[in-house]
Amino acid sequence: MLCSCNNCHIKTIFYETLISNQLDGFCEARTELVLSKGVTFIRQGDEIKSFKYLKEGLIKLHKVDETGKTQIISFGKPMDFVSIHNIFAEKTYSYSVTTLEKSIICIFDLNIINNLVKTNGEFARKIIQTTTRSANNIISNSLDMLGRSMYGKIARVLLFFQEEIYFTYGFDLPVSRKEIAQYTGLSIETVIRVISEFRKDGLIKVYGKRIEIIDKKGLKAIYEYSK
């Protein structure tokens, strides 16, 4: 069965808003794509033809600015809408999307979604709600970053992976120091140095990509007092 995943946010929206015959057609129109780590499956400038949804895995949204510098906009986790920030507003993507781990993407034809928005107001309302929340998250994030020192920025990144992605104190960082630099706006060396300092201060243990958070309170304090 195609629409059988547990905890599927979009399925929940469908069940809450669609009448059952709409739901059936919808599930049949779904495509599932299994992608390995490091695959760029949406490219900045590509025409938007489908609505994508992250079922499993981890992704990054990133873009290249006029000067050629790469910036990471945000990280996406399961149940996130991948393509929301442009899909309803523009014809092409203004950013790229790349998997950071093996991921499963659900793909719906854009016309079907658009049609549902047009013909089902309750569905539309839910979509507005979800896209707005997601955009709000990105906005709070960048505003937050803008006001913090390098220590606060790095602490936030580590806490993000611990609290929102892996839930355990030990985990393998899915991003390189360079990618953390692209996300925080810091230089690579600064990122490496701050991680080293955290290690020397006994806040974390580091074995290459492997991070173990030893003193979470301390890390959180650094984050909070870093304004």
Partner DNA sequence: GTAAATATATGACAAATATCATAAAGAATA
Partner DNA sequence: TATTCTTTATGATATTTGTCATATATTTAC
- In the complex, the residues that contact DNA under the rule CB under 7 A are 149-151, 176-178, 185-190, 192-193, 195-196, 206, 208-209
Q: CB under 8 Å, gap of 24 or more: what pairs does 157-161 form?
A: 157/183, 157/184, 158/198, 158/204, 158/211, 158/213, 158/219, 159/216, 159/219, 159/220, 159/223, 160/75, 161/211
Q: What CA–CA distance (Å, rounded) separates 9 from 169?
A: 27
What angle (nearest 5°) sits at the alpha carbon of residue 100, between those of residues 222 and 58? 80
State the residue for tokens 């495509």: 31
Q: Which does 66 bind (CB under 5 to 8 A by kind): a second copy, DNA, none?
A: a second copy
**Residues from 80 through 99 that contact a second copy (CB under 8 A):** 84-86, 88-89, 94
The site map against a second copy for 44-83 (x = CB under 8 A) is -------------------x-xxx-x-x-x----------
Q: What CA–CA distance (Å, rounded) separates 101 from 35?
A: 8
Q: Which does 16 bind (CB under 5 to 8 A by kind): a second copy, DNA, none?
A: none
The site map against a second copy for 130-169 (x = CB under 8 A) is -xxx-xx-xxx-xxxxxx----------------------
State the residue for tokens 């910036």: 71
Q: Which residues bind a second copy (CB under 8 A)?
A: 63, 65-67, 69, 71, 73, 84-86, 88-89, 94, 114, 117-122, 124-125, 127-129, 131-133, 135-136, 138-140, 142-147, 184-185, 224-225, 227
